[in-house]
């Protein structure tokens, strides 16, 4: 195991009705004037918008609102949010929604107390050293932004989707009520489950040896998602299954599974080019990319793929041919993704073969390789994208 530091100070309220604590938590973490940040229509339809508003009004906490965050959140709304926070003297940001709303809130939080352009953080020009405090009410089990210090924003000028991270962005509190996820359409539930799985895989596929504890945590989360996702798709109101998925989403990405080990992240970076260019749902893009990444790295480095097959998918080990065992694990993963309604090809997400060169150029920027489990060259990345084209 490698040396590490781990700081994850988020206060969680988990369970039915947990959102009723929102005003109390904002006060606990020093908020006196709030930006209430949210996405499209889902929180209005579900009644959550009114409940949050009532809680803040009853507690006498003044707030201003900024809705309209789109999936794959954009820089334009972040600039608006920064301006609003400065003008109104906001000192706390409440994000109500999914990863997109939370990531947009984190960008506003860091940008409001920075003199330059907030995109400097995402262009890696400067680290994020301070930010307004952020609290969240989560409505989808997926990105894990409720417990992470990460944020991903699309720069509308360049159409580049880039991440930034800092422990100061970790939410002060996150409210997780599994009931709030019952209104999700099946496609979003499945895409969220896929994202959770790949957050684990990016950490699981590692060359660091002797990391039994994080290996087993990863396998436990993967097996939970494989068990719970079909139960939720069959019965969207299944509280216990929703609850397990929701906590899995947090554990998958607050880095408790990633510490002390080299991590990969190639599948995510390849996917971010897809969602930047075609606005595809992040988890659906991952469903296309991740199994093909696995097939590509199998020949060069089968070790963890054999573990993935035997320990996660219960494939019996063929000692004479471990690669064949690993391949059966990948096939089981693909069959699972298909069974929950996820795409596996470029055609299914509207991606085009002609754009592969452009996506690869944007992905590499000035770098020579991508990922760590196997260091991918430009040619490797193009091959992975090309293998998604089925026509
Ligand atoms: O905007 P509304 O109307 O709320 O609709 C949303 C949106 O259309 C809908 N939705 C959310 N909760 C709902 C609901 N619909 C009905 N009932 C509910 N309870 O679902 C759609 C997707 O929402 P979004 O917030 O985009 O989903 P997700 O949480 O998957 O976030 C995706 C974003 O997070 C980034 C992705 O790249 C993508 O931009 N990621 C962020 C990470 C992080 N900060 O650590 C890590 C991830 O790897 C990921 O890259
Ligand atoms: Zn993700």
pLDDT of residue 247: 98
| pLDDT exceeds 90 at position 197 | yes
Average pLDDT over the chain, rounded to whole?
97
Question: What is the percent of the chain where pLDDT is above 70?
Answer: 100
pLDDT in tens, 252-308: 999 999 999 999 999 999 999 999 999 999 999 999 999 999 999 999 999 999 999
Q: Tell me how far the alpha carbon of residue 140 lies from the centroid of ligand 1, in angstroms.
A: 7
| pLDDT exceeds 80 at position 39 | yes
In this prediction, residues 162-173 reach a mean pLDDT of: 97
pLDDT of residue 338: 98
pLDDT of residue 149: 97
Q: How far apart are CA 352 and CA 386, in angstroms?
A: 10
- Which candidate, 70, 140, 144, 138, places its Cα nearest to that of 100? 70
Q: Which ligand is nearest to the CA of 77?
A: 1
**What Cα–Cα distance (Å) separates residue 131 from each residue in 3, 165, 167, 192?**
27, 12, 10, 27
Q: Among the residues of the chain, which ranges form H helices?
A: 22-28, 42-45, 48-59, 75-88, 99-112, 119-122, 186-204, 212-234, 239-253, 266-278, 282-298, 303-307, 322-339, 346-349, 356-364, 378-387
In this prediction, residues 218-226 reach a mean pLDDT of: 98
pLDDT of residue 366: 85
Pocket-testing residue among 52, 282, 290, ligand 1, by greatest number of atoms within 8 A of Cβ: 282
pLDDT in tens, 91-136: 999 999 999 999 999 999 999 999 999 999 999 999 999 999 999 9
Q: Tell me how far the alpha carbon of residue 212 lies from the centroid of ligand 2, in angstroms.
A: 24
Closest atom of ligand 1 to CA, residue 140: 12
In this prediction, residues 56-85 reach a mean pLDDT of: 98
Q: Which ligand is nearest to the CA of 197?
A: 2
Q: How far apart are CA 12 and CA 254, in angstroms?
A: 12
The residue whose C-alpha atom lies closest to atom 22 belonging to ligand 1 is 71
Q: Tell me how far the alpha carbon of residue 100 lies from the centroid of ligand 1, in angstroms.
A: 5
pLDDT-based confidence at residue 40 (cuts at 50, 70, 90): very high
Instruction: List the structure tokens of 3.
Output: 């040396």
Q: How much is the pTM? A: 0.98
Residue 73 has what DSSP assignment? -
Is residue 346 a contact partner of residue 288, using CB atoms and an 8 Å limit?
yes
Closest atom of ligand 1 to CA, residue 148: 45
pLDDT of residue 263: 98
Q: Tell me how far the alpha carbon of residue 142 lies from the centroid of ligand 2, in angstroms.
A: 7
pLDDT of residue 20: 96
The residue whose C-alpha atom lies closest to atom 36 belonging to ligand 1 is 282
pLDDT-based confidence at residue 225 (cuts at 50, 70, 90): very high
Q: Which ligand is nearest to the CA of 72?
A: 1
The SS3 of residue 107 is: helix
Instruction: List the structure tokens of 359.
Output: 């996506």
Surrounding residues of ion ligand 2, Cβ less than 5 A: 195
CA dihedral 279, 281, 283, 284 (to 10 degrees): -90
pLDDT of residue 49: 98
Q: Tell me how far the alpha carbon of residue 42 lies from the centroid of ligand 1, in angstroms.
A: 11
| pLDDT exceeds 90 at position 391 | no
Q: Tell me how far the alpha carbon of residue 198 lies from the centroid of ligand 2, in angstroms.
A: 7
Question: What is the percent of the chain where pLDDT is above 90?
Answer: 99
The residue whose C-alpha atom lies closest to atom 47 belonging to ligand 1 is 143
Q: Tell me how far the alpha carbon of residue 97 lies from the centroid of ligand 1, in angstroms.
A: 7
Pocket of ligand 1 (CB under 6 A): 39-43, 71-73, 97-101, 103, 139-140, 142-145, 148, 150-152, 180-181, 183-184, 188, 192, 195, 253, 268, 275, 282-283
Q: Tell me how far the alpha carbon of residue 303 lies from the centroid of ligand 1, in angstroms.
A: 33
Name residue, tokens 């906590």. 247
pLDDT in tens, 293-350: 999 999 999 999 999 999 999 999 999 999 999 999 999 999 999 999 999 999 999 9
């Amino acid at each position: 195991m490698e040396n590490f530091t781990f700081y994850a100070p988020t206060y969680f309220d988990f369970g039915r009705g947990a959102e009723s604590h929102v005003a109390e938590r904002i006060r606990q973490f020093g908020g006196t004037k709030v930006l209430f940040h949210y996405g499209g229509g889902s929180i209005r339809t579900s009644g959550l918008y009114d409940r949050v508003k009532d809680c803040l009004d009853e507690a006498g906490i003044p707030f201003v609102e900024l809705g309209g965050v789109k999936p794959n959140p954009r820089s334009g709304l972040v600039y608006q949010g920064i301006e609003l926070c400065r003008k109104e003297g906001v000192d706390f940001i409440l994000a109500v929604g999914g990863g997109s709303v939370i990531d947009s809130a984190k960008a506003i939080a860091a940008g409001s107390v920075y003199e330059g352009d907030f995109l400097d953080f995402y262009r890696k020009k400067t680290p994020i050293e301070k930010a307004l405090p952020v609290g969240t009410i989560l409505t989808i089990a997926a990105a894990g932004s409720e417990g992470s210090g990460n944020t991903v924003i699309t720069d509308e000028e360049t159409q580049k989707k880039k991440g930034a991270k800092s422990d100061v962005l970790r939410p002060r509190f996150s409210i997780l009520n599994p009931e709030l996820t019952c209104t999700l359409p099946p496609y979003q539930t499945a895409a969220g489950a896929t994202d959770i799985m790949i957050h684990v895989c990016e950490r699981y596929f590692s060359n660091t040896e002797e990391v039994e504890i994080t290996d087993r945590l990863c396998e436990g989360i993967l097996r939970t998602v494989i068990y719970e996702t079909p139960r939720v798709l069959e019965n969207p109101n299944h509280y216990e299954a929703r609850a397990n998925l929701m906590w899995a989403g947090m554990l998958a990405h607050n880095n408790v599974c990633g510490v002390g080990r080299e991590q990969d992240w190639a599948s995510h970076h390849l996917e971010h080019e897809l969602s930047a260019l075609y606005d595809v749902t992040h988890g659906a893009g991952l469903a296309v990319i991740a199994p093909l990444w696995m097939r590509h790295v199998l020949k060069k480095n089968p070790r963890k793929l054999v573990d993935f097959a035997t320990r996660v998918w219960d494939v019996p080990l063929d000692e004479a041919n471990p690669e064949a065992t690993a391949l059966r694990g990948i096939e089981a993963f693909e069959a699972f993704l298909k069974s929950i309604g996820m795409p596996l090809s470029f055609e299914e997400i509207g991606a085009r073969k002609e754009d592969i060169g452009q996506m690869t150029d944007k992905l590499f920027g000035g770098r020579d390789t991508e990922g760590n489990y196997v260091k991918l060259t430009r040619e490797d990345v193009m091959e992975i994208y090309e293998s998604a084209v089925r026509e």
